Every structure is written in C-alpha cells, then in structure tokens.
C-alpha cells in the first residue's frame, strides 16, 4: 500500500488534496510498469480504467482506414488518459502505447468517481480535459492554416514547452522523436519533414542530437509559424 501512496501522491492532479485524502487515493490506485512499445489498450477495447502517468511517455494514436498511423498526442508524467471510461459500457477509440519505459497509476471508473467527490480534483480534471480539447482543436487548425514548415515549427515549439529542458546549446526536447513520428504529428510525408528539418538545421534554428531536437533559435521558429513561406 505504501507503494501505491507514493505513486499517486506526487501527481499534480492530486496536489491540492490533504494527506488523508491522498491516503484514500493510495488505497484505490494500482501501479504498473509498461515497457517501451507495450500497448496499454487498443482501439475497441473496453474502457474501464483511468490511467495517470507517473513517469515515461505514452503515444495516443489511431489507424486510418488506409492503415496510416495517426498520432493524436504524446503524453508525459502527470497527464491522464482513458477518459472514455467516464461513459457506461464505453470502448477506447484510440490506441495507447508506451514510447519508453513507463510507470502508470490507474484506477477504475468507480474508484475515480470517489475521487471526484473532491471539488478541487474535479476542477483539475475538467481543466486537463479542456486543455486536451484545445490541443486537438489547435492541431486541426494548424493543419488547415499552416504549411508543413509552419506545422513543424509549431509542433517543435509546443513539444519544447512541454518536454523541453534548458542546456547551454538551447532547449532540448526530451523525447526520442524520429522523422516518421514528427511527420505523423504534423501530417506530412517523412521526406517533406526531413527536408524542412534539414532546412531549419542549415539555418541554425534547430539541431539534433541522439534522436532529440534542440531549439537553438525559438524566435526564428516562432517567425516560421507566423509567417508561412
């Protein structure tokens, strides 16, 4: 049980709760390790569990009718998913796969409903869901209104905001991201994305090291979003 409490109490979503309430969460939650590339659930699986990421990264994606992998989101520590569980007899409508070794805390719909008795936790969950909705809406808008360079620039800036760590060189995006992953995120071909990345690298705006992107000149990247070629 002490492991369960350790797992949950550090999550931001429960940061406003007092110790007895956190202990209650510890009693309700389970903890599990998922290895890199392991699936947590697949599209069509019964949705009966809410997942909270303790550490690691999870990729949410769908597969199009043509068999193309469509990445919807990349989640990190403190993010939660599996929200379809809030509906009765629901199914997951996407796939969730670990991008790296990941620790997950989870609880059932019934247990999560108990946690929602706390208004602060409810508000936090609503806020996080609202952010998810904004993220999907922004992605649709970005595809509609930006060219590939603008989309790559916007995506790198967004990822830097969420996963960036400062280093002497610039801001390193702390995710192993292939050109294929980036292509799926921005909805462009891998070749096109490689060309854009090559161009940004040549202009000294970004660099890459160990499959990680480093933002050398975020202002120039922002300009690429605002002023499409």
Partner 1 sequence: MKSPKKTANSGAVDEIQTIVAGLDVMSSLLTEVKAGSKLGKTFVLLLNLFLLENRQPDGCKTIADLSVQSLADSVNMDCEELTGILSYLTEQGLIDCQTK
The binding site for partner 1 (CB under 8 A) comprises: 62, 64-66, 68, 70, 72, 83-84, 86-87, 93-94, 109-111, 113-114, 116-119, 122-123, 125-126, 129-130, 132-133, 136-137, 139-141, 143-145, 184, 187
178 vs 189, beta carbon nearer partner 1: 189
31 vs 111, beta carbon nearer partner 1: 111
Q: What tokens were used for 13?
A: 């979503």
Tell me which residue of 133, 226, 128, 141 sits closest to 186, measured CA to CA.
141
Q: What tokens were used for 171?
A: 């801001």
3-class state of residue 37 by DSSP: coil
69 vs 217, beta carbon nearer partner 1: 69
Helix (H) or strand (E) holding 219: helix 218-226
Rounded least distance, CB 84 to partner 1, Å = 7
122 vs 165, beta carbon nearer partner 1: 122
Burial tier of 34 (Cβ tally within 10 Å: 0-12, 13-18, 19+): buried
Rounded least distance, CB 170 to partner 1, Å = 29
């Amino acid at each position: 049980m002490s492991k369960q409490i350790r797992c949950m109490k550090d999550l931001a979503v429960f940061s406003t709760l007092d110790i007895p309430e956190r202990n209650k969460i510890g009693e309700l939650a389970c903890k599990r390790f998922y290895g890199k590339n392991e699936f947590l659930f697949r599209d069509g699986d019964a949705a009966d569990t809410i997942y909270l990421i303790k550490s690691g990264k999870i990729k949410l994606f769908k597969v199009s009718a043509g068999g193309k992998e469509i990445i919807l989101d990349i989640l990190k520590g403190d993010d939660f998913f599996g929200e379809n569980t809030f509906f009765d007899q629901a199914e997951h409508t996407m796939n969730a796969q670990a991008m790296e070794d990941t620790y997950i805390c989870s609880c059932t719909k019934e247990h999560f409903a108990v946690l929602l008795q706390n208004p602060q936790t409810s508000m936090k969950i609503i806020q996080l869901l609202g952010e998810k909705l904004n993220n999907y809406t922004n992605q649709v808008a970005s595809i509609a209104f930006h060219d590939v360079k603008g989309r790559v620039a916007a995506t790198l800036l967004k990822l830097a905001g969420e996963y960036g760590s400062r280093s002497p060189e610039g801001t390193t995006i702390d995710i192993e991201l292939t050109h294929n992953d980036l292509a799926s995120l921005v909805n462009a071909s891998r070749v096109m994305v490689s060309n854009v990345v090559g161009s940004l690298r040549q202009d000294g705006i970004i660099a890459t090291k160990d499959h990680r992107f480093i933002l050398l000149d975020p202002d120039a990247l922002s300009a690429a979003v605002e002023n499409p070629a």
